[in-house]
Amino acid sequence: MNEFEVVTVIGRPAEEVFAVVRDAAKTPLWTPGLSEVRRTSEGPLGVGATMVYVGTFLGRRYESPVACTGFAENKQFATTTTGGPFHLEVDQRLEPAGAGTRLTFRCRADSRGFFKLAEPLVIRLAKKQAEAGGENLKALLEEHAL
């Protein structure tokens, strides 16, 4: 299992950052390669909620069903895939950082199928996408106040 961590400090309060992180409709706005997130369960977002991430990676379209495995209002949003070309465990944690918020994105990943053949490249690119996603989120929140 491969692991990496990306930390982004965003000049907005945790409540504002969390509101965007948890909003499935806004996730493709700041996540490279992601075109859609569909909720597949009813009710409020929390542990056990399910959704499907749809996107492209290395030129291949993918659909990854995920389940929420950790949820604490304004503090944590964690998911794990339940199918698809990757096994991903993503834990996003928010904590105060001066007048802003430190968003720590931790990922444990393992590739499947086609992506397994190029796993070292897949992991490097996934980390770069996570870094770009953090910077995109920072820009969206600091410049546009979503």
Whether the Cβ atoms of residue 85 and residue 112 lie closer than 8 Å to each other: yes
How many other C-beta atoms lie within 10 A of the C-beta of residue 113?
A: 11
Distance between CA 92 and CA 83 in Å, rounded? 20
Residue 114's pLDDT band (cuts 50, 70, 90): low
Share of the chain above pLDDT 90, in %: 73
**DSSP characters over 53-122:** EEEEETTEEEEEEEEEEEEETTTEEEEEESSSSEEEEEEEEEEEETTEEEEEEEEEEEE-THHHHTHHHH
Q: What CATH number does residue 98 fall under?
A: 3.30.530.20
Share of the chain above pLDDT 70, in %: 95
Q: Give how many domains the chain has, as a whole number.
A: 1
Provide the whole-model pTM: 0.89
Structural domain harbouring 138: 2-144
pLDDT in the model for residue 145: 61
Residue 52's pLDDT band (cuts 50, 70, 90): very high
Question: Is 125's pLDDT higher than 90?
Answer: no
Average pLDDT, integer, range 107-135? 83
pLDDT in the model for residue 146: 58
Distance between CA 124 and CA 69 in Å, rounded? 25
Whether the Cβ atoms of residue 101 and residue 83 lie closer than 8 Å to each other: no
